[in-house]
Every structure is written in structure tokens, then in C-alpha cells.
């Protein structure tokens, strides 16, 4: 009954040069809470959109922080572009559930925020402005450069947050439940926009989500996380062209498979 376009991944290891990010045998413990996850190995290839799917509290956000270099694992190693990762990499970017724009800066200044920081790759003002303008254009906010966050709707603010990430021209975009605070219509728009812009920017994405449909609509590969301590339990490759909502039967089959696996995991 499985649709032909959908097949469980054979876990074929890509050549090292193809991976943006490779993590091996990661574990992480919170003092007082205990082991959050252990034995997590995964790799994200260039331009690949990977969804990390799991219920609330399964440790997926913590795993994202470790993979982004914002927290150090108790054991294991994260490699970014084939080099060990000790702190956030300049070619990675973050999008959170909340836009977290800085309210005292204009939209353009928010999108360009931090590009001139000491540890960022050196670039002159004109190049930075061009990157900011391209990112704002890509998320459909051209003409609103001078607006302040308080003057933007929730959807526009999240677009701005996405533009801020794009302006770093990231090899890998970390997105932690980026659309779960939005209404359903805006969320669908943003999911389509995300797929569109990361393809144009040639970025890979690690999308943390608890929404099966979001994972199905956006991701090339879905990792199911669960258990206590958390582990990556299953993996599916979604080999379907975008926009996916034009293939509802194939999505439904995979959706049922994931739901079944989720039931067994808890």
C-alpha cells in the first residue's frame, strides 16, 4: 500500500564531503534532570531539509542547541563542514519559535544584526547591505525596511526572523519550532516560503517540530526522536517534489506510518 515515492531510508552514509553537519554518539545531561538524550548520531547533507520530529520534552530542542554549538555534549562530537564544532559556526543561523526581533532596531537593522560583529566573516558595508536587501526581498518584506518590530504582524515578524537567518548566507539553518506560534494559514505560507528560500540560498535545514504535517510538507528526511533518555528511533526519506500538498495520498500513507511509530515509541 505504500506509495512508491515514499520509502524508509536505507541510512546510506553520504561521503564526508557532502555533509554539512555530522554528529556521532552524542549524549547530554542536565544537572538535576538527568540524561536528556544519548547515543544520537546523525548527519545533514548539503541543501538537505531534515525534520527532527518528536513530542514535547523529548529533548529535541536541547539536541538542536548541541548541534548548533550553543551547548556542549557530555559525550560525542559534532563536526560542521568537516571541522569539530566548539562554538556556533558563522555559516549557521537560528530561527526560534518567537521572532525575537530587537524592538529598538528597524527591520533592515534587525535583518543585518550582528553581521558586523568581531567574530563574523569580514565584509564591507555595501556587501552587507546587499545581503540584507536580498534576504528582505526573498521573504516578501521589501518596502518595509524602515518599519519597527512593534509595527509588524506576527507573520511578518517571523518572516523578518527568517530573513535575519538568510542574511548570514547559512550553510545550515537551525529552526526550533519556527511556525508553531502562528495561525494555520500563516503557518502554511511560511512552510512554503521556507522551502522556497532555502532552495534558493542552497542552505540545509534542521527543523525541530512536533507537527507531523509540517515535517511531511517541508522535509526531505524525517528523524523521529523519542524515549527517555531521547534517541533517534526511526528515519524516513520523503522523496516527493514540492509543493507536497498536491500529493495527499502519498503523504497520508507516510503519515500513518509515522503515527504508528510514534504510538510505539511512547
Cα atoms found within 13 Å of the Cα of residue 164, Cβ hemisphere only: 25
Full DSSP string of 121-162:
PP--HHHHHHHHHHHHHHTT-TT-TT--GGGS-HHHHHHHHH
Interacting stretch for other proteins, rule CB under 8 A, among 12-20, 21-29, 31-39, 83-91? 83-91
Closest contact distance (angstroms) between CB of 113 and other proteins is 8
Q: Which of 100, 247, 261, 265 binds other proteins (CB under 8 A)?
A: 100
Q: Cell digits for 55? A: 513530542
Q: Which helix (H) or strand (E) holds 5?
A: none
Nearer to other proteins, 100 or 186 (CB): 100
Closest contact distance (angstroms) between CB of 109 and other proteins is 11
Nearer to other proteins, 107 or 258 (CB): 107
Spatial distance between the Cα atoms of 12 and 20, rounded to a whole number of angstroms? 16
Judged by CB under 8 A, the chain residues 46 through 75 that form the site for other proteins are 68, 70
Sheet holding 49-53, edge to edge: 6-8, 231-238, 221-226, 49-53, 204-209, 172-176, 92-95
Question: Taking CB under 8 A as the rule, does residue 153 contact other proteins?
Answer: no
Interacting stretch for other proteins, rule CB under 8 A, among 2-10, 87-95, 211-219, 225-233? 87-95
Q: Quote the DSSP letter at residue 252.
A: H
| Strands in 17-130 per DSSP E | 19-30, 34-45, 49-53, 75-80, 83-84, 92-95
Question: Taking CB under 8 A as the rule, does residue 96 contact other proteins?
Answer: yes
Interacting stretch for other proteins, rule CB under 8 A, among 38-46, 97-105, 190-198, 222-230? 97-105
Interacting stretch for other proteins, rule CB under 8 A, among 11-19, 26-34, 82-90, 179-187? 82-90
Interacting stretch for other proteins, rule CB under 8 A, among 14-22, 34-42, 143-151, 216-224? 143-151
Instruction: Please state at what angle helix 154-166 crosses helix 125-138, rounded to 10 degrees.
Output: 140
Question: ∠ CA(102), CA(153), CA(65), 5° rounding?
Answer: 50
Question: Taking CB under 8 A as the rule, does residue 127 contact other proteins?
Answer: no
Q: Could you list the residues that contact other proteins (CB under 8 A)?
A: 68, 70, 87-88, 90, 92-94, 96, 98, 100, 102-104, 113-114, 117-120, 148-151
Amino acid at each position: 500500500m505504500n506509495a512508491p515515492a515514499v520509502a524508509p531510508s536505507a541510512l546510506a552514509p553520504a561521503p564526508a564531503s557532502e555533509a554539512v553537519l555530522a554528529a556521532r554518539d552524542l549524549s547530554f545531561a542536565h544537572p538535576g534532570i538527568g540524561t536528556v538524550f544519548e547515543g544520537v548520531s546523525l548527519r545533514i547533507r548539503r541543501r538537505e531539509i531534515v525534520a527532527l520530529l518528536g513530542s514535547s520534552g523529548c529533548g529535541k530542542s536541547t539536541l538542536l542547541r548541541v548541534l548548533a554549538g550553543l551547548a556542549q555534549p557530555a559525550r560525542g562530537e559534532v563536526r560542521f563542514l568537516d571541522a569539530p564544532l566548539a562554538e556556533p559556526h558563522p555559516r549557521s543561523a537560528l530561527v526560534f519559535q518567537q521572532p525575537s526581533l530587537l524592538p529598538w532596531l528597524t527591520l533592515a537593522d534587525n535583518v543585518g544584526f550582528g553581521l558586523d560583529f568581531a567574530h563574523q566573516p569580514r565584509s564591507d558595508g555595501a556587501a552587507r547591505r546587499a545581503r540584507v536587501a536580498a534576504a528582505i526581498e526573498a521573504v516578501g518584506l521589501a518596502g518595509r525596511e524602515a518599519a519597527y518590530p512593534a509595527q509588524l504582524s506576527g507573520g511578518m515578524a517571523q518572516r523578518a526572523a527568517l530573513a535575519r537567518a538568510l542574511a548570514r548566507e547559512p550553510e545550515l539553518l537551525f529552526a526550533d519550532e519556527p511556525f508553531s506560534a502562528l495561525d494555520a494559514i500563516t503557518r502554511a505560507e511560511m512552510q512554503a516560503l521556507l522551502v522556497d528560500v532555502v532552495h534558493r540560498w542552497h542552505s540545509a535545514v534542521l527543523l525541530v517540530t512536533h507537527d507531523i504535517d509540517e515535517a511531511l510538507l517541508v522535509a526531505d528526511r524525517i528523524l523521529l526522536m523519542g524515549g527517555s533518555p531521547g534517541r533517534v528511533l526511526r528515519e524516513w526519506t520523503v522523496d516527493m517534489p514540492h509543493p507536497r500538498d498536491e500529493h495527499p495520498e502519498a503523504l497520508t500513507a507516510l503519515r500513518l506510518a509515522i503515527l504508528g511509530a510514534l504510538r510505539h515509541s511512547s
